[in-house]
Structure 1
Amino acid sequence: MAETIDILITLDENYLEPLHIMLTSLHVNNPAQDFTIWLIHERIPDSKLQQLNRLLAQWKMTFHEIKVPMELFSNAPTVERYPKEMYFRLASGKLLPNTVKKVVYLDPDTLIINPLNSLWDFDLNGNMLGAATHAGLTNLTEGFNNIRLGTDHGYYNSGVMLMDMEKVREIVQLEDIFKTIHEFGDYLLLPDQDILNFLYGKYIKEIPEEIWNYDTRKSNVYLTKSLGKHNSHWVAKNTVVLHYCGKPKPWDEKSNNRFTLLYAHYQQLLKRYNDLLS
């Protein structure tokens, strides 16, 4: 595990607490791995960034925060459905230094429950990104999204991605993203994810969702599709990233599915780490 893994995160102040929990799980389940954490944001207060940095320093993770220049998105459509933060991961090629060649992007509503190096070492076969689809039992959503977006590939979830940053810099253009939103904004249900699939789906290599982007709402689907193989024991041994898609989120009091307890466990671990810092 000599190579450092670069982790990309893009969010606003409201998701800092879930981010701390996700990073706790990353540390606990990758104790010998070196990480560099890249946080792209627009206006998170310095005091909260310092708090995050103290936590990461305790785990010997390197932390870099990149504040987005206001002028970069001055022409971006940013009505209520399109907050600026939705652009940041797609624009990461322009925001991260050129020395960063590859990153793993992670949504803050994830847990890392096994070593992440298996995703870091995944062969993209020349593609720009690696991402999973959430197909379900019948894969009806793929057909719906193909018709809606005019695509001919799976509908990729943008919550967990392996990104070849050199190809991102070569292929992704902000002008194309802005134009797509201006022309098709009324048809975009999940704006950043729709844009990812509409403009860049042909540059994506599919990764197994049950390993690297496990939708915690769909455990029964995974169990059925695998003919009973992908039970809780299999998930504990093989799944790397749990993704708490949809609502309620696991930190909400209304959440009470089979993965809520695991999330609460990492909440308690984070509290212990914070107690050590206080």
Structure 2
Amino acid sequence: MNNPMKKNEFAVVLASDNRGILPLSVTVFSLLNTAGPETFYKIYVLSDGIDGENWASVERLAAPFDCRLEFIDVSGILEKHDFPHTEQWPVPAWGRVFIPELLKEERGNILYLDIDVLVCRDLTELFRTNMDGKAIGVVFENFSRPGSHFNERLEMPLTCTGYFNSGVLLMNVDVFREKNLVRAVLDYAVTHRDRLTCPDQDALNGALCELTVPLHPRWNWHDGLTRRILKNDPREQFWRGVTPRQAVEAALEPGILHYQGVHKPWRYNWRYEGERYERVMREAGLLRGPLPGRTLPAVLKKHLYRPVYRMTARKILRLKEGFDNRLL
């Protein structure tokens, strides 16, 4: 229950069905295990048919921490709204859009997290972002430019900052309600149905592109961006939507790691930040033996990638040293 001595009380929303219970559990544990002594999280899980046994397992995981955990059934959303859901992009993927309607008692900033993220630090700094009257805080992956894959496809004007990843969203629910933005996102999804490749993310980008606040990339960093630092020219002003300095800061000290893509860290693979995720799984008691999928070809591939990762780490550190020297 809520500790009245704590100063920072924040609402965090995740969404899952029974298939996602393991990564959901890891994300919940990482969120609570990195909370500062003054931080109290209210965690809402948007549930599409999570059964009682899985529900109870997440509750047991959260029980040692001072927090509030609540499950909200969203399986009936399909009956009330028309939006382009698919097997690949099911109801939980769209749950983030309905947060301002589902959590009517909440005000101000609410954080949505995909369940394939790992929280690496207390999130007070993120929650205290000045939203400046805008609807949503995001990490951009690309900036707007003529002929881009998103500006033309999604009819996003060049005045929009760029295209963001929707795996981490800081949502100002007051603005969402004032401007009826849930309806705006759903309407956009329906009218642009044939143009959406990542339906929920595309619809959020298209409908909200002029109501965004850029977040530091540390709040939604993934290893693909880390590796691409190797190709970065530090003299460039921007690189994939962020400055080189921000990219280096995020790679060295990520706040939230996003394991996007098909190679998920709860199965053995070669990904750069996989070992960090595995350590958290073991600390949470969610993994006692080897990771599933540990085969000889997979082990060999991981070893083949190690020199690339070492080279990446050295490049990042050299870039940091260069930035630090410029300040002297």
Shorter-chain-normalised TM-score: which range?
Answer: 0.7 to 0.9
- Alpha-carbon deviation of 1:99? 3.4
Identify which of structures 1 and 2 has the higher relative contact order when contacts are C-alpha pairs closer than 8 Å and 6+ apart: 1
Q: Which residue of 2 aligns with 1:221?
A: 228
Q: Which one of 194, 198, 209 corresponds to residue 202 of structure 2?
A: 194
Matched, 1:257 2:246: no
Matched, 1:98 2:105: yes
Q: Which residue of 1 aligns with 2:281?
A: 267
- Alpha-carbon deviation of 1:177? 3.9
Q: Which residue of 2 aligns with 1:47?
A: 53
Matches of 1:194 and 1:101, distance apart in 2: 24
Matches of 2:132 and 2:112, distance apart in 1: 18
51 and 197 in structure 1: CA distance in 2 versus 1, 3 angstrom threshold: same
- Alpha-carbon deviation of 1:86? 2.7
Q: How does 1:39-118 map to 2 (within 5 A)?
A: 39-68=45-74, 70=76, 73-77=79-83, 78-80=85-87, 82-118=89-125
Matches of 1:69 and 1:191, distance apart in 2: 18
Q: How high is the sequence identity, in percent, across the aligned residues?
A: 22
For the aligned residue pairs, the C-alpha RMSD in angstroms reads 2.8
8 Å contact 1:119–1:212 — kept in the other structure?
A: yes
138-147 vs 125-134, which deviates more? Answer: 138-147
What code does the residue aligned with 1:40 have? L
- Alpha-carbon deviation of 1:205? 0.7
- Alpha-carbon deviation of 1:237? 5.7
Q: Secondary structure at the match of 1:63?
A: strand
Q: Which one of 203, 207, 211 corresponds to residue 211 of structure 2?
A: 203
Count of equivalent residues = 269
- Alpha-carbon deviation of 1:143? 2.0
Unaligned runs of 5+ in 1: none
What code does the residue aligned with 1:13 have? N
- Alpha-carbon deviation of 1:130? 0.2
Q: Which residue of 2 aligns with 1:22?
A: 27
Q: Secondary structure at the match of 2:266?
A: coil
Matches of 1:262 and 1:15, distance apart in 2: 19
79-88 vs 152-161, which deviates more? Answer: 79-88
Matched, 1:248 2:263: yes
What code does the residue aligned with 1:252 have? R
What code does the residue aligned with 1:267 have? M
8 Å contact 2:137–2:214 — kept in the other structure?
A: yes
24 and 184 in structure 1: CA distance in 2 versus 1, 3 angstrom threshold: same
TM-score (norm 1): 0.85
TM-score (norm 2): 0.73
